Amino acid sequence: MNDYDRVAQRVDKKIHFYRNFIAYVIVNAFLAMVNYFASPDFWWVLFPVIFWGIGVFADFLKAFVFAGTFDEEYRQRKIAEEMEKMKL
């Protein structure tokens, strides 16, 4: 994998996160309004907010925190380490 492909993959992960986050905000704002007007006594909107939020947070971690941590170079390095262990 060359440098361009690695950078393109990182950019794709960031774009995926931004799209998912925008959808998360818009859909959950709509659901909050529906919840407020339809059944204000029970805030069921918290369920999609929390569980979808976990997914959005995972996308954030993949795009910004762990970006490049477990890339192809890491994989090749670990394969070489395991090969060395097997030789012993």
pLDDT tens per residue, range 18-76: 999 999 999 999 999 999 999 999 999 999 999 999 999 999 999 999 877 777 778 88
Q: With bands split at pLDDT 50, 70 and 90, how would you rate the model's confidence at 3?
A: confident
Residue spans of the domains in the chain: they are 3-87
Q: What is the pLDDT of residue 42?
A: 97
Tell me the DSSP string of 20-82. Answer: HHHHHHHHHHHHHHHHHHH-TTS-TTHHHHHHHHHHHHHHHIIIIISTTTTSHHHHHHHHHHH
Q: What is the pLDDT of residue 71?
A: 73
